[in-house]
């Protein structure tokens, strides 16, 4: 019984990183390479929720240490988020996260026209005037190089974020 219990403990310890990091990493790379956008949304939503869960866990670490089943609960939650049968990450993003993002950023669906342009106005107010030219130059560079990969879009987002940060 002792060796079996040790084996179960080891499997339990390894299952977390495999379920929460390795499989999502592999599935994210496959999603980027596939032409479908459905799997892209699932994995982007997963990484958003996983990041939030990890940050929350870091803040509440001293409390969570006293809950003996926390790691098992986290594994079950991660399995629900990750497994394609459930699409839990996409569900949580659609039901909870998207509404908050739209409410606080003024963002809307790309096919809809903003009736008042609030989203654009908030973005313009966020970026100071001397930084708008840098963002415009970056946009021009991306248009000239005609990059269409999702990685380039991610790089562009990072550049815009870094440029817009206060000095």
Span 61-109, pLDDT tens digits: 999 999 999 988 999 999 999 998 998 999 999 998 888 888 888 766 5
Handedness of CA 72, 77, 82, 85 (dihedral sign): positive
Q: Name residue, tokens 């219990």.
A: 5
User: Mapped to the 3 state alphabet, what secondary structure does 61-105 carry?
Assistant: HHHHCCCCCHHHHHHHHHHHHHCCCCCHHHHHHHHHHHHHHHHHH
Does the pTM surpass 0.75? The reply is: no
Task: Please state, for a pLDDT cut of 70, what percent of the chain lies above it.
Answer: 63
Token digits of residue 110: 């790309």
Q: Please determine, for residue 158, whether its predicted confidence score (pLDDT) is greater than 50.
A: yes
Judge contact between 3 and 15, C-beta under 8 A. no
């Amino acid at each position: 019984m002792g060796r079996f219990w040790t084996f179960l403990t080891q499997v339990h310890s390894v299952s977390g990183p495999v379920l929460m990091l390795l499989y999502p990493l592999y599935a994210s790379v496959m999603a980027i390479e596939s032409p479908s956008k459905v799997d892209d949304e699932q994995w982007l939503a997963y990484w958003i929720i996983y990041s939030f869960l990890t940050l929350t866990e870091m803040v509440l670490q001293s409390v969570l240490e006293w809950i003996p089943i926390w790691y098992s609960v986290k594994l079950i939650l991660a399995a629900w988020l990750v497994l394609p049968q459930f699409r839990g990450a996409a569900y949580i993003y659609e039901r909870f996260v998207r509404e908050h993002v739209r409410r606080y950023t003024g963002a809307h669906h790309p096919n809809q026209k903003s009736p008042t342009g609030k989203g654009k106005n908030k973005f313009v107010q966020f970026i100071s005037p001397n930084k708008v030219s840098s963002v415009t130059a970056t946009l021009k560079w991306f248009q000239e190089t005609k990059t269409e990969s999702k990685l380039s879009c991610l790089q562009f987002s990072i550049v815009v974020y870094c440029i817009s940060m206060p000095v």
